[in-house]
Chains A and B, each alone.
Chain A
């Protein structure tokens, strides 16, 4: 069937199950937008800045568990996507970004709105393509989706010259994709599974450490079953929150720089560390030679490069987390010498020790009379949403308070720019999440600094009737950097004060959204209740204690046991 390249793109999107595209038009993609207008199956969400399109596609992908799609024009449209792509790459989010490009005859000519986006994004995409031959358009798009969603997921960019999408192409029916050079390993090696299980059965003080891979591979049920079977405590990375119920008795919450006292202590004293879909990031390990020094380490990851990159591992398992943990569960079920009750008895003193650490230094904060504490706001958000909201965050203190105090019980409910740490992620992500799950409550927990990095998306939220809620924890500071300046730079607050700020209530109103403000603890609950009851985009401006810090805190480069506590 001969159709135009733009029409072929529409058909490919449909065939790949894409219903929503986030984008922004421009000269090089007019042909594609012309087709979008005629295509009733596809919702295009017009953002107000291309970076927001990518963050929205990122969160959309996380909620639905499939590929998110963004579409932008050449030149500045393409360069504006780079931050979003780099964030998705660090967090292993499946995504395809289509960028327009000048006509093939002009490539390399420094044409108007030309940029070598394939060159620019090579180090921050899983793979990328410049389609120069219309005959390769359809197969390239299919390959892009295949690469994005399989193996360790990630963003793939497809650069589309204007003449290629205008050309007539032959649209063929899809065939299963077989690539000579790309075959991710899903199934674990049975020998490694056996070795792991035998080692785990010998452990007296095990810790399960889970990361974003558990969410990406939908392994939360298998992990929960495994943890309970083994009576082993579980700690989560920022990306792994929701991969194991946060309110479960075996949950130790997050570990690392702003992790809980008990999670960090448990890791430092455990004799067995089972890492599942986590990558031993520097924010998790702290000083590397002091990380889990007594532990035998098992590492399950689909990406071989993650294994033994930062920490030497005793038993590596290259596999999809879901497959690997399921295999361990069934090995234990078959094992004659495995008895769950006995194991629980053996681990009892260890769990008791963790409970002691927890009661000695629980997560907490000091109340201060009439001043709103940010942690209190997050606790109230948790309480008033029944813990069932989708939470997105910006980056900084807001992100850490959200991670610490909104106890995530389900996967795909927490969206944050974990690896790259993008301020300005949370609000467009909230829009993306709401488009994916219109029936869910979606709240962006924001700071007054971060929210201003993509505040223009209020127009997008209004245009698509996206009643997301933004909770600004407003301290008139770039709070996390200020905290570092307070602790390590003798309180020299260089350029972190944001005293000149918009009136967020009026700002919301200017866009036709609703603005609410709380300045006293007693106003927090009524404001949240009103926001949740309002069928509109709402900004909640919580004026919080200015110099509140995030604790516990492991100073950069220190061992994770050297925590500053509340």
Chain B
């Protein structure tokens, strides 16, 4: 099962390597990884996606928590959350297909971030399924290059009174 795990950690040299080393050393899987500073520049937030049986995910979260530089580990599966990825796609856009590409990315609320005579580079955000849907639709037109971020995630605020 897919798990999105959010990790708050000290923003220090070598910390990322402790996290990735833990995964490779213990044979766990990293599907995607995304990390940047939080509002507090001494603390980073790392979001990673991993697949595994519940027992493995439990070990992963415990092992992450055991790292001295780790402040907090949240398995998003235990809560309601939103998650997003961003993708940049350079898609073939010649006279015959330019309008179709624009219509398509408009449907996905994407935008064009770079233009040339033969291509558009477009930016689209969304969850994993949406990004995959865009890619599937643009593929027949001709994708020349693609760059994806990892997933970032945030727990939903509590809504009940």
From A119, A182, A309, B68 is in contact (CB under 8 Å) with A182
Q: Are A122 and B18 in contact (CB under 8 A)?
A: yes
Segment of A206-214, A300-308, A461-469, A487-495 engaged in the interface with chain B? A300-308
Residues of B within 8 A of A308 (CB): 55, 58
Residues of A within 8 A of B63 (CB): 305
Asked whether any CB of chain A lies closer than 8 Å to the CB of B25, the reply is yes
Q: Are B59 and A305 in contact (CB under 8 A)?
A: yes
> Is chain B's binding surface mostly helix, strand, loop or mixed?
helix
Asked whether any CB of chain A lies closer than 8 Å to the CB of B70, the reply is yes
Residues of A within 8 A of B52 (CB): none
Nearest CB of A to B1, in Å: 18
Asked whether any CB of chain A lies closer than 8 Å to the CB of B111, the reply is no
Q: Are B66 and A181 in contact (CB under 8 A)?
A: no
Residues of B within 8 A of A127 (CB): 68
Q: Which A131-183 residues have C-beta < 8 A from chain B?
A: 147, 179-182
- Over the window 53-70 of chain B, the binary record of Cβ atoms lying under 8 Å from chain A Cβ atoms (1 yes, 0 no) is 001001100110110111
Chain A: interface residue total (CB-CB under 8 A)? 17
Known: A122-B14, A122-B17, A123-B25. A304 touches B66 (CB 8 A): yes
Chain B: interface residue total (CB-CB under 8 A)? 20
Chain B residue at minimum C-beta to C-beta distance from A304: B62
Give complex CA distance A122, B20 in Å. 11
Q: Are B21 and A123 in contact (CB under 8 A)?
A: yes
Chain B residue at minimum C-beta to C-beta distance from A180: B71
Residues of B within 8 A of A309 (CB): 59
- Over the window 65-97 of chain B, the binary record of Cβ atoms lying under 8 Å from chain A Cβ atoms (1 yes, 0 no) is 110111100000000000000000000000000
Nearest CB of A to B17, in Å: 7
Give complex CA distance A178, B14 in Å. 22
Asked whether any CB of chain B lies closer than 8 Å to the CB of A126, the reply is yes
Give complex CA distance A305, B13 in Å. 25
User: What would 10 A/B residue contacts be, using CB atoms closer than 8 Å?
Assistant: A122-B14, A122-B18, A123-B21, A123-B22, A123-B25, A126-B68, A147-B68, A179-B68, A181-B68, A305-B63
| Chain B interface (Cβ < 8 Å from any Cβ of A) | 9-10, 13-14, 17-18, 21-22, 25, 55, 58-59, 62-63, 65-66, 68-71
| Chain A interface (Cβ < 8 Å from any Cβ of B) | 118-119, 122-123, 126-127, 130, 147, 179-182, 303-305, 308-309
